[in-house]
């Protein structure tokens, strides 16, 4: 039994390595995702009109009450 397992391991080790999807396209997919992520968040941060400030003190004032 051990001899058969050893023989199989040697045969697989000598098999020609074929690159899979991740070897071929992994970096490209990662780079594409980073570009989309940056573009979307860049748009959100610059175009949505949000005011960035950590403290709301002094910014939030009550509206006048209308009767």
**SS3 state of residue 26:** helix
Contact predicate 53/59, CB 8 Å: yes
| pLDDT, tens digit (0-9, with 9 covering 90-100), for 3-59 | 666 666 666 666 667 889 889 999 999 999 999 999 999 998 888 766 666 666 666
pTM score above 0.95: no
Encoding tokens for residue 20?
A: 């899979």
């Amino acid at each position: 039994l051990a001899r058969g397992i050893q023989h199989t391991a040697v045969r697989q080790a000598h098999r020609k390595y074929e690159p899979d999807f991740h070897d071929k396209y992994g970096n490209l997919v990662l780079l594409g995702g980073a570009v989309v992520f940056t573009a979307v968040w860049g748009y959100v941060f610059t175009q949505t009109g949000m005011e960035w400030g950590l403290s709301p003190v002094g910014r939030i004032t009550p509206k006048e009450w209308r009767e």
